[in-house]
Structure 1
C-alpha cells in the first residue's frame, strides 16, 4: 500500500535491535485517514484472496486495535481484542494465552472472554506488525481453543528478517501485509 510505504519512509525510525518506531502514525499517535485506508486495503485483500464469510476480527491490545477496528468496519463485522490485563468485569469463562512482548521485553498473558469468540466464527487476525509471530500465534491459539476457524492473517507492516511468516506458515491461511521493512546496513528499506 503506497500511502503506508511513503509514511514509513518519511516518518519511521529504526530504534536499534530490529525495533521500528511508527509512533507518529500507528502506535501512539494514530492518523485516522491512513488507518481507515489501511483497514479498507486489508478487507479488499481478503476479498481478492477469496476468503469467504468472515464473522469476526481478533487482535491484541493495544496497537492492533485501530487497524483491526477499521478492517472490521470495512467488512461490517465485529472486532474483539485480547486484553493484557484481566479486568474485574471479565468472568471466569475466558481464553488465555501467553506471548513474549518484544517491545516490552517480557511475557504477557492475553485474554478473550469466551462469549466473544464462538465455534461458529470464521476469524481474521489483524495486527500492526508481523515480526516473530509470537502474538499472532497466541491469537491463533484463542481461535483454536474456541473451536472457531482461522481464515487469514493481516498486518500493516512485516519485518521479514524476524521470520514470523515462516513460523505462521504452519497455520495454512493467507497472510496479507501492506508494507515490508527490511534492515540493510542498519537502514530501513520499505516495499509494499
Structure 2
C-alpha cells in the first residue's frame, strides 16, 4: 500500500531495540480516511489470496482495534477483540492465551468470550505489527481453542528483521502485510521494502 509506505517513510521513527514508532497514524492517533483505505486494502489482499467466507475478524486490544474494525467494516463482518484484563462482567466461559508484550516488557493474557467466538466461525486475525509474532500466536491459539477455523492473518507493518513470519508458517494460512520494514545501517535506522 503506497500511501502507508509513504507515511512510514515520512512520519515513522526507529527508536532502537526493534521499536518502530508509527503512533501518529496507526496506533495512537488514528487518521479515519487513511484507516478506512487500509481496511479496504486488507479486504482486497485477502480476496486476492483466495480467502473467502470469513465470518469474524479477531484482534487484541488496544492497537489492533482500529485496523481490525476498518477491515471488518470493509468485509461487512463482526470484529472481536481479545481483552488484556478479564472484566467482572465476563462470566461466560473464556478462551485465553498469553503473549509477550514488546512495548510493556511483560507477559499479557488475552481473553475472548466463548459467546463471540464459536466453532462455526471462520476467522481472520488483523493486528498493527508483525514483529516477533507473540501476540499473533496467542490469538491463533485462542482461535484454535474455540474450534473456529483460522483463514488468514493480516498486519499493517511487518518488521522483517524480527522473523515473526517464520513463526506463523505452521498455521498454513496467508499472512498479509500492507508494508514491510527492515533495519539498515547496522540496525540504527530502517528502510521500507
Per the TM superposition, whether the score is higher than 0.5 is: yes
Cα distance in 1 between the residues matched to 2:45 and 2:127:
15
Which of 181, 187, 190 is equivalent to 1:188?
A: 190
- C-alpha separation in 2, matches of 1:167 and 1:5: 24
CA drift of 1:184 comes to 0.4
Give ranges in structure 2 of 5+ residues lacking alignment.
Answer: none
**TM-aligned CA deviation for residue 111 of structure 1:** 0.3
Is 1:28 the equivalent of 2:32?
no
> Which residue does 1:172 correspond to in 2?
172
How far did 1:124 drift? 0.2
Q: How does 1:11-90 map to 2 (within 5 A)?
A: 11-90=11-90
Encode CA deviations 1:110-141: one digit per residue, 9 max, x unaligned.
00011100000000000000000100000000
Q: Alignment RMSD, CA only?
A: 0.7
- TM-score of the superposed pair, with normalisation by structure 2: 0.98
Q: Secondary structure at the match of 1:87?
A: coil
Q: What do the CA deviations read for 1:33-58 (whole angstroms, capped 9, x no partner)? A: 11111110001111111111000000
SS in structure 2 opposite 1:86?
A: coil
What is the distance in 2 between the residues matched to 1:187 and 1:15? 9
Residue 109 of structure 2: aligned partner: 109
Query: Alpha-carbon deviations, 1:57-116, whole Å to 9, x = none?
Result: 000000000000000000000000000011111114111110000111000010001110
SS in 2 for 1:116: coil
Contiguous gaps of at least 5 residues in structure 1: none
SS of the residue aligned with 1:115? coil
d(CA) in 2 for partners of 1:4, 1:104: 25
